[in-house]
């Protein structure tokens, strides 16, 4: 055992666990830990100008590396500021160690400024939340935190660190972290039942979710889809790349809308759901996303997800990669001659239908913009894809344009797509910075709506300060177009009078170029189609971060 302060023990644990960065925004209760960054240099502290941005950067880094990232926030108010992206991380299963300084325990009875019950605040958005009771406990608590965060189902944990325990000097030791193998095998009888049902299906389909990506099962899903001749849909608002979008069996992404999703599944007789955690609409309408009568097989490492939204005829608790490998082994002797006859015909007809539908969609979407006017989101996304490397990484918070991003910006490389699954705005800009820190050799593009960008615009300063060469493409329609679109469907007073209360970012419009330049980025305004490709080439050629403020169409406003 060695004598050290709580802060020294914490820093030593982080170094031993291979932590390269700590993301945060410090305050008085974190000063003992901040002293460690002056004393030692194994870890780089990444400063964000707002706690939600700090957590967003950490989330991007964790998702891109697959390892827990460490966040340091300032007391109760710092944690409160970060709740939006903590919620995103929790819904997505992002492994994080979130810490916040607490006031000295001896003063809590006095109710000093900034103190509160942070455990109560964090508990519903984390896998585990704990307030340290002594300096000697800090290494043990961190060992448990790392174990919990990275054990499937992965997710964030929270630790409250009273400042007096960070300062206190005690005899302590650094315990090892228990590592639980991620390969949880499924029940063999259930695997065989699933294989029999899939082999007899006339029109099977697969829905894949983030659990597939986190378990490394994307390749196995491709093999399974081809073996069955089954189309593949991604879960609504998947946060990671769960199936190569250029694959001929990659069908439409499911929508967070029952009315849009249900027709996509009407002809399915057997549905395999793998690693999916979102199968409910954003807005309740009483319509089921999955039609009645569809026979459901569900695979998930998290037993809570099995049958949560729809009863599963066959429910298999297992790591998706292990389960799909075993399912493939069980299927091979059952498929017989179908592999070369019936399945082949189904595979070809399914691929042809998907290709035809996508061609029609692209034909309608690609309206050539006027020479001197704003562009459609589809046009912008197409030009982004043409300008970017084949292995480019896309961080998406374009909201209204997301439907085009997911269907037009083809992505086939692993670890190349990141999205805010929880729906809390403000993840896109900071997450892109974290992704770039994790993947410095790859092009990173952030597609973000103007409204979304303003939730965490101060993240641009962090990008400039650490020279994170992200290209930020702002889809600027000067408003909250996703809400205008919902009002258009309602056909009420807003549409009749052309009045969209609280949905216009005008009078004045935000000058994103000036904002970005004030924070150290190079930036350009793109007002019309002919300017877009040269601007993209210019931005992608920069050695540091760059921003493009791109004028997009404002359809609902025009219809008013």
CATH topology of domain 188-352: Rossmann fold (3.40.50)
The residues that bridge with 271 in the sheet, in sequence order, are 205, 296
Give the architecture-level CATH label for domain 2-172.
Answer: 3-Layer(aba) Sandwich (3.40)
Domain limits, the chain: 2-172, 188-352, 366-559
What is the CATH superfamily name and number for domain 366-559?
A: Thiamin diphosphate (ThDP)-binding fold, Pyr/PP domains (3.40.50.970)
Beta-strand pair 444-449/470-476: parallel
Q: What is the pLDDT of residue 337?
A: 52
Q: For residue 124, what is the enclosing H or E element?
A: none
Quick check: 70 and 22 in contact, CB under 8 A?
Answer: yes
In this chain, the answer to whether the domains covering 188-352 and 366-559 adopt an identical fold is yes
Give the whole-angstrom CA distance, residue 542 versus residue 17.
Answer: 34
Beta-strand pair 156-162/393-397: unpaired
- Alpha carbon distances (Å) from 384 to 355, 468, 533, 542: 21, 19, 8, 15
> Which residues, at least 6 apart from 7, have a Cβ–Cβ distance to it below 8 Å?
32, 33, 35, 36, 166, 167
Quick check: 439 and 64 in contact, CB under 8 A?
Answer: yes
CA angle 554-536-445, nearest 5°?
A: 85
Per-residue pLDDT tens listing for the chain (560 residues):
789 999 999 999 999 999 999 999 999 999 999 999 999 999 999 999 999 999 999 999 999 999 999 999 999 999 999 999 999 999 999 999 999 999 999 988 889 898 899 999 999 999 999 999 999 999 999 999 999 999 999 999 999 999 999 999 999 999 999 999 999 999 999 999 999 999 999 999 999 999 999 999 999 999 999 999 999 999 999 999 999 999 999 998 998 888 889 999 999 999 999 999 989 888 888 889 999 999 999 999 999 999 999 999 999 999 999 999 999 999 999 987 545 568 999 999 999 999 999 988 888 777 667 677 899 999 999 999 999 999 999 999 998 899 899 889 999 988 999 999 999 999 999 999 999 999 999 999 999 999 999 999 999 999 999 999 999 999 999 887 777 777 776 778 877 877 777 778 888 999 999 999 999 999 999 999 999 999 999 999 999 999 999 999 886 443 32
Quick check: 272 and 229 in contact, CB under 8 A?
Answer: no
Local structure of 286: helix, strand or coil: coil
The residues that bridge with 5 in the sheet, in sequence order, are 169
Beta-strand pair 295-300/314-317: parallel
Q: What is the pLDDT of residue 244?
A: 96
User: How many Cα neighbours within 13 Å face the side chain of 63?
Assistant: 41
State the residue for tokens 């190349």.
416
The residues that bridge with 214 in the sheet, in sequence order, are none
Query: Which candidate, 241, 219, 245, 216, places its Cα nearest to that of 232?
Result: 245
- For the stretch 271-298, what's the b/e string if a residue is b when 16 or more beta carbons lie within 10 angstroms of its beta carbon? bbbbbbbbbebeeeeeebbbeeebbbbb
Q: For residue 300, what is the enclosing H or E element?
A: strand 295-300
Q: For residue 535, what is the enclosing H or E element?
A: helix 529-540
């Amino acid at each position: 055992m060695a004598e050290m302060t709580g802060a020294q023990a914490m820093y030593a644990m982080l170094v031993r666990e291979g932590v390269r960065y700590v993301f945060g925004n410090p305050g008085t209760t974190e000063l003992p830990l901040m002293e460690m960054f002056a004393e030692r240099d194994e870890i780089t502290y990444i400063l964000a100008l707002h706690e939600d941005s700090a957590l967003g950067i950490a989330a991007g880094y964790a998702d891109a590396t697959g390892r827990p990232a460490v966040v340091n926030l300032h007391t109760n108010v710092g944690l409160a500021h970060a709740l939006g992206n903590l919620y995103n991380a929790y819904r997505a299963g992002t492994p994080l160690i979130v810490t916040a300084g607490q006031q000295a325990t001896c003063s809590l009875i006095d109710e000093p400024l900034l103190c509160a019950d942070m455990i109560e605040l964090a508990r519903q958005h984390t896998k585990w939340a704990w307030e340290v009771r002594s300096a000697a406990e800090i290494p043990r608590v961190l060992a448990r935190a790392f174990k919990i965060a990275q054990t499937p189902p992965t997710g964030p944990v929270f630790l409250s660190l009273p400042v007096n325990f960070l300062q206190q000097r005690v005899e302590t030791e650094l315990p090892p972290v228990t590592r639980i193998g991620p390969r949880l095998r499924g029940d063999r009888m259930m695997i065989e039942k699933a294989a029999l049902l899939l082999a007899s299906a006339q029109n099977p389909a697969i829905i894949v979710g983030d659990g597939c990506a986190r378990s490394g099962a994307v390749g196995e899903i491709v093999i399974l889809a081809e073996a069955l001749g089954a189309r593949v849909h991604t879960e609504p608002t998947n946060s990671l790349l769960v199936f190569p979008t250029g694959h001929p069996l990659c069908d439409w992404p499911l929508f967070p809308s029952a009315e849009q999703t249900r027709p996509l599944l009407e002809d399915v007789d057997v549905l395999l759901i793998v690693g999916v955690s979102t199968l409910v609409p954003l807005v309740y309408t009483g319509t089921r996303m999955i039609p009645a009568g569809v026979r459901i097989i569900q695979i998930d490492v998290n037993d809570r997800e099995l049958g949560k939204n729809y009863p599963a005829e066959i429910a298999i608790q297992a790591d998706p990669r292990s389960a799909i490998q075993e399912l493939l082994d069980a299927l091979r002797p059952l498929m017989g001659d179908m592999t070369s006859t019936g399945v082949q015909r189904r595979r070809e007809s399914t691929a042809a239908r998907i290709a035809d539908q996508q061609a029609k969609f692209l034909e309608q979407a690609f309206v050539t913009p006027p020479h001197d006017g704003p562009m459609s989101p589809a046009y912008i996304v197409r030009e982004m894809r043409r300008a970017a490397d084949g292995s480019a990484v896309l961080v998406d918070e374009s909201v209204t344009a997301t439907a085009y991003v997911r269907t037009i910006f083809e992505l086939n490389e692993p670890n190349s797509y990141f999205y805010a699954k929880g729906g809390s705005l403000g993840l896109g800009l900071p997450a892109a910075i974290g992704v770039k820190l994790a993947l410095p050799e790859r092009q990173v593009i952030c597609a973000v709506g103007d409204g979304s960008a303003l939730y965490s615009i101060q993240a641009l300063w962090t990008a400039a300060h650490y020279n994170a060469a992200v290209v930020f493409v702002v889809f600027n329609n000067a408003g909250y177009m996703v809400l205008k679109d919902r009002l258009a469907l309602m056909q009420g007073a807003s549409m009749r009078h052309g009045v969209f209360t609280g949905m216009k970012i005008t009078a004045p419009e935000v000058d994103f170029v000036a904002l970005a330049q004030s924070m150290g980025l190079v930036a350009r305004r793109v007002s019309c189609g002919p300017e877009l490709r040269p601007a993209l080439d210019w931005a992608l050629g920069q050695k540091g971060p760059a921003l493009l403020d791109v004028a997009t169409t404002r359809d609902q406003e025009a219809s008013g």
